[in-house]
């Protein structure tokens, strides 16, 4: 399960996934997870952006 913004178009490119709208939910906690040894060089930037924009 993933919660994505309505404007995220990636879900429409995968015929094996379904999108179900969620209306009226209260603000909630989110979790970002990745593999400990993931070599993706973008992960540190994604983490910093999430902390900067999503921290209360």
Question: Using a CB cutoff of 8 Å and minimum separation of 24, what contacts does 42-50 make?
Answer: none
According to the model, what pLDDT value does residue 24 have?
86
Residue 51 pLDDT:
84
Q: What integer pLDDT is reported at residue 39 of this predicted model?
A: 92
Q: How far is CA 45 from the centre of its chain?
A: 14
DSSP 19-30: -----SPPP---
pLDDT in tens, the chain (56 residues): 667 777 777 767 778 877 787 888 887 787 878 888 899 998 889 888 888 877 75
Q: Where are the domains of the chain?
A: 25-56
Tokens read off for 31: 């979790």
What pLDDT is recorded for position 1? 62
pLDDT, residue 9, reads 73
């Amino acid at each position: 399960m993933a919660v994505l913004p309505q404007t995220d178009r990636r879900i429409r490119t995968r015929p094996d996934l379904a999108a179900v709208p969620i209306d009226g939910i209260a603000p909630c906690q989110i979790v970002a997870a990745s593999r400990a040894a993931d070599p993706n060089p973008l992960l540190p930037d994604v983490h910093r952006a999430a902390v900067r924009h999503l921290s209360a």
